[in-house]
């Protein structure tokens, strides 16, 4: 079989001092990555969390947009002084940072002419030729420039917008996954697991993750592949190992 | 005043496909960053999340350990095939990857000679000259090589070990912070806030974070500085603005 597997990848860039300082627990990485995986067949290969500093945002946009098919940024697109994502992305791509007519109209309609102050107008300033990601929660749109998608930092708003990214994305092959949860410790199965992983190298990715639940120690084995038949083969081999070692499966 | 402020910084490197894929919600960034901030006066300036791939770990260890005072890694120090952090760090620093005598003794005692299998022995293989970070939960130690601290990925185990890092750290000046929660929207205060931030540039870092609570929209203003007196001044100016705008403070 010489059929090529089309792999599409992405990076996530979380922009915000509040995440870096530990004040706020990030929830956007897991949400975006799950959505890209399950809905678009896109694998996230790197995440970075950086401060609200123009020079650092510019550097990271340049390097990540070169390295990956897509980059998703979160945070820094609101009306306050620390919201500098749009300006920084314009700088990274050497395009003008200016009023986007459609974004301006959306925001003016939302706030009303009288309340459309400078802070609010700032949210209509985007890198030139941005395409809009509509925001059903609070009007202020996200935007796409080249392969970079910029979304807000507030999880509930981001979640409401994510489907509006899809039309701009080239999607990849769906990645399938299976999970088996075992009542054992990793070090009890590591040798056998290693052998199975070596046999299916580059075809199936096997991950092993310890957990503690209901006072018991367990291991989740997660195997992922674009080919379902390889997953079934790995599943069979792992179940054989489990039987030989007399390990109990834990059903969730 | 020419007294210099001693700033110590760090990066966090999260190693693990399960975090990148969105399967597991990371909790270690917020925990480590809060601990470094509050207990050691160390600011986290960058976080990266990367897959369990040797080449990528090596590259990131090299660049982050050059760029920051300290690097904290999480994940990849267990007994399974996908645990390659120790080996990769040895490669990054061009030191041998070999059995660490004290780690070996700790693990042998914990598992008992009979049950001390190859997977478990692997956890005693560390970069040469590693210093140990003792693990009160499950024996397998973390380790320090040069300015890189390696901890496990399971949050409860990591949390139990973190205090054992302190003796190897040079700590910085404590960063103080104050928070005011307001019943308003960001775009209502962005102009005034911008003026205050400009006045205290490089002295106080002011962050503005929208929240939704009890069905109401609010903004948390967080200001951070190594100098308490500057914080009090910013607090005064913000309270004056709040009064002028007739905004209610939200007490949590």
Alpha-carbon span B52 to B153, nearest angstrom: 12
Quick check: B23 and A222 in contact, CB under 8 A?
yes
Share of chain B above pLDDT 90, in %: 77
pLDDT of the residue at B2? 33
Q: Is the pLDDT confidence value at A27 over 70?
A: yes
Give the pLDDT score at A169: 95
**Region for B202 from its dihedrals, namely left if φ exceeds 0, alpha if ψ lies in -120 to 50, beta otherwise:** left
The more confident residue out of A210 and B31 is B31
pLDDT tens string B95-116: 999 999 999 999 999 999 998 9
Residue with more model confidence, B2 or A185: A185
Q: Bigger pLDDT: B229 or A217?
A: B229
Average pLDDT over residues B9-17: 97
Question: Taking residues A166-173, what's their average pLDDT?
Answer: 91
- A74: pLDDT confidence band, cut at 50, 70 and 90? very high
Going from N- to C-terminal start, the domains of chain A cover 8-168, 176-249
Question: How is domain B8-168 classified at the CATH fold level?
Answer: Molybdenum Cofactor Biosythetic Enzyme; Chain A (3.40.980)
Residue B83 above 90 pLDDT?
yes
Restricting to B residues 218-237, those with a Cβ less than 8 Å away from any Cβ of A are 222, 224
Work out whether strand B8-15 and strand B42-50 pair parallel, antiparallel, or are unpaired: parallel
User: Is 60 exceeded by the pLDDT of residue B49?
Assistant: yes
A133: CB partners within 8 A, 6+ apart: A141, A142, A143, A144, A149, A150, A151, A161, A164, A165, A168
Interface of A with B in 145-184 (CB under 8 A): 153-154, 156
Least CB–CB distance from B47: residue in A20, A194, A207: A20
pLDDT in tens, B203-223: 999 999 888 776 778 898 999
In 3-state terms, what secondary structure has residue A180?
Answer: strand
- Interface contact flag, A190 B79, Cβ < 8 Å: yes
What is the rounded CA–CA span in Å between residue B150 and residue B118? Answer: 21
In this predicted structure, the answer to whether residue A4 has a pLDDT above a threshold of 50 is no
pLDDT reported for residue A1: 35
Do B176-245 and B8-168 have the same topology in CATH?
A: no
Please report the DSSP string for A189-200 in residue order: HHHHHHHHHHHT
Neighbouring CB atoms inside 10 A of B8's CB total: 17
Q: Indicate the helix (H) or strand (E) that contains A88.
A: helix A85-92
What class is the A176-249 domain? alpha beta
> Residue A212 has what pLDDT?
77
Per the CB < 8 A criterion, the answer to whether A77 and A123 are in contact is: yes
More reliable by pLDDT, A37 or B216: A37
Query: Cβ of B17 under 8 Å from any chain A Cβ?
Result: yes
Contact (CB<8Å) B21/A34: yes
Fold of the CATH domain B176-245: Alpha-Beta Plaits (3.30.70)
Specify burial of residue B38 (Cβ count, 10 A radius: 0-12, 13-18, 19+): middle
**Averaged confidence pLDDT in chain A:** 92
Separation of alpha carbons A86 and A132, rounded Å: 12
Q: Test A19 with B29 for CB contact under 8 angstroms.
A: yes
The mean pLDDT of A76-84, rounded to a whole number, is 92
Tell me the two tokens of residue A37: 């995986």
- Residues 180..219 of A with a Cβ closer than 8 Å to B: which? 186-191, 193-194, 197-198, 205-210, 212
Q: How confident is the model at residue A252 (pLDDT cuts 50, 70, 90)?
A: low
As a whole number of angstroms, the distance between CA B154 and CA B149 comes to 15
Tell whether the model's pLDDT for residue B145 goes beyond 60: yes
Q: How far is CA B36 from CA A88, A108, B29, B143, B210, in A?
A: 29, 43, 11, 17, 25
The average pLDDT across A160-169 equals 95
- Mean pLDDT, rounded, of chain B: 92
Whether B51 and A30 lie within 8 Å, measured CB to CB? no
pLDDT band at A216 (very low <50, low <70, confident <90, very high): confident
Q: Where are the alpha helices (DSSP H) in chain B?
A: 17-20, 28-40, 54-67, 85-92, 101-111, 118-122, 155-161, 186-199, 228-245
Q: How confident is the model at residue A172 (pLDDT cuts 50, 70, 90)?
A: confident
State mean pLDDT over A139-156. Answer: 96
**pLDDT on residue A234:** 96
Residue A170 Cα, gap to closest chain B Cα (Å): 19
CA–CA dist A82, B207 (Å, integer): 7
Average pLDDT over residues A120-140: 94
Task: State the average pLDDT over residues B13-40.
Answer: 95
């Amino acid at each position: 079989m010489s059929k090529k597997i089309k792999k599409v990848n992405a990076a996530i860039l979380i922009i915000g001092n509040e995440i870096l300082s530990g004040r706020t627990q990030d929830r956007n990485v897991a949400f975006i990555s799950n959505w890209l995986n399950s809905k678009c067949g896109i694998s996230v290969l790197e995440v970075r969390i950086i401060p609200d500093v123009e020079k650092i945002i510019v550097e990271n946009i340049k390097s990540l947009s070169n390295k990956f098919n897509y980059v998703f940024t979160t945070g820094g697109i609101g009306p306050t002084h620390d919201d500098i994502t749009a300006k920084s992305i314009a700088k990274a791509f050497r395009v003008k940072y200016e009023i986007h007519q459609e974004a301006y109209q959306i925001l003016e309609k939302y706030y009303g002419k009288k309340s459309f102050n400078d802070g609010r107008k700032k949210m209509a300033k985007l890198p030139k030729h941005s395409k809009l990601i509509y925001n059903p929660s609070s009007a202020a749109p996200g935007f796409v420039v080249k392969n970079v998608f910029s979304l807000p930092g507030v999880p509930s708003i981001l979640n409401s917008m994510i489907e509006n990214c899809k039309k701009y994305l080239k999607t990849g092959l769906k990645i399938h996954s299976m999970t088996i949860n075992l009542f054992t410790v990793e070090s009890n199965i590591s040798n056998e697991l290693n052998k199975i992983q070596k046999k299916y190298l580059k075809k199936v990715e096997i991950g092993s993750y310890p957990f503690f639940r209901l006072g018991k120690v367990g291991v989740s084995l997660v195997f992922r592949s674009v080919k379902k038949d390889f997953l079934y083969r790995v599943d069979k081999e792992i179940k054989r190992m489990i039987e030989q070692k007399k390990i109990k499966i834990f059903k969730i």
